[in-house]
Amino acid sequence: MAASAADLHATLDARLVEATRGIRLLDSVSWPASIELGFIAAWKAGRAKLPDVTYPRLDFGDTRAKLDAISGAADPAHPIGDYIRRTAESWRVATDLLEAMGTPAITAHSAKLYGLPGDRVPGATLTNVDAARHFIAIADEYNSGAPLDEIETQIPAELLRIELKQRLDGFFGVDAIRVEVDPDLIAKAAAGATRIRLRSATTFSNYDRDQLLAHEAFVHSLTALNGRAQPNLKSLARSSPRITATQEGLAVFAELMSGSIDIARMKRISLRIVGIDMAIRGADFIEVFRFFMDAGQSDTDSFTSAQRVFRGAPVGGGAAFTKDAVYLRGLLSVHTFFRWALKNQRMALCRNLFAGKCALHDVIALEPYFDNGYIAQPRYLPPWVQHAHGLAGMLAFSLFANRIRLDRVEAEDLVLGL
């Protein structure tokens, strides 16, 4: 890459980071904790009504002008120029979404960023909502039988904070990532580059703890810290909307590969996709909330799930915030990518996914710039990636197992003879 092109795109990337600094998409669409308290109290008293949520009126006209200028200056024929243009465009759509908060128009903008439940799963004829219903059915079948007994644990938020802090200090270094208990957090946990927050008014299971480490700490925080260490493309430290499917898919894949995902987690992810589909088809907040309740979630968890569906959207039905549609699609895409990389002897691409906030497209298109050092190799790698031979073994088995058709297996085939 010529020095002039490198300097140009590094300058444009720096301008991109500066231009998007004031865009806080998820924070802007989230609801205050007081809405949950009021709704749950009214629900228990038999007086439930639709939540009253107001959003600020925002104007990102100046930001869009800056993004358009950056896109216009980037060379679309150059891999890094194309990366900058793609990233700038996703931020531009995010500004459209934020200006449309509280209106039905949010759905179309959200669909551009995250897709829809009815979108096809890559490499299959099934849609996201088809896949979701499949996992829900499996979870329900498992729970209706005689599942293996497990020792239930309830870890208070403060105790979990101490435990996570010790683990993270040992992995990233002392105080690289803060762990805080937050009374205003609606989700059970949230992660940034240097801070993980835990909801105070809840307890956590061992699965919750392990999922937090695998998903939040060793993917979301880890890729942010690696992105901050990049010498040229500083935007790799920021979660641009276009990388959401890969980032969330990678995080759930991390749960799978580290053994921290459980059947209840798969069901929760899948139920949210069905909830989004219901909302788009006209269901209001109470109907979606009741759907989660009927699926076996607590009232608090049902509110949290329904709130995720209606973030930034009218609560009367016909609109939704579709981010949670990316989880299964992202998981299946990342899983396929890892298996493809093993089959084609390109496992280095999988390591590159952790160098910052990347999309699958990026690690392929920008491979020469990883190779020549323009994009730095990741400083941190999750434990399951560090164990490369074990990872390759699991992927190799997965590749072969895909060739076995379960619908053709008879019980007699599974009985080992003497």
Strands of the sheet with 195-199, listed across from one edge:
178-182, 195-199, 189-191
Full residue range of the structural domain in which residue 265 is found: 1-135+261-401
Per-residue pLDDT of 210-263, as tens digits, reads 999 999 999 999 999 999 999 999 999 999 999 999 999 999 999 999 988 888
Report if residue 71 sits inside a domain: yes
Is the pLDDT at 316 greater than 90, yes or no? yes
Contact (CB, 8 A) for 212 and 202: no
Query: How far is the CA of 109 from the CAs of 59, 106, 235, 249, 264, in angstroms?
Result: 16, 5, 22, 21, 30
Report if residue 385 sits inside a domain: yes
Entry pTM: 0.91
| 3-state SS string for 14-79 | HHHHHHCCCCCHHHHHCCCHHHHHHHHHHHHCCCCCCCCCCCCCCCCHHHHHHHHHHHHHCCCCCH
Q: How many domains does the chain have?
A: 1
Q: Which residue has the higher pLDDT, 71 or 409?
A: 71
Per-residue confidence (pLDDT) for residue 187, from 0 to 100: 77
- What DSSP designation does 127 have? B
Report if residue 347 sits inside a domain: yes
Report if residue 388 sits inside a domain: yes
DSSP strand E in 88-235: where?
Answer: 155-156, 178-182, 189-191, 195-199, 203-204
Return the sign of the alpha-carbon dihedral for residues 165, 213, 160, 289: positive
Report if residue 242 sits inside a domain: no
Report if residue 255 sits inside a domain: no
Query: How far is the CA of 128 from the CAs of 280, 307, 322, in angstroms?
Result: 14, 20, 12
Tell me the mean pLDDT in the region 264-270. Answer: 93
Report if residue 243 sits inside a domain: no
SS3 call for 112? helix
Report if residue 323 sits inside a domain: yes
User: Across all residues in the chain, what is the average pLDDT?
Assistant: 91
Per-residue confidence (pLDDT) for residue 1, from 0 to 100: 46
Per-residue confidence (pLDDT) for residue 407, from 0 to 100: 58
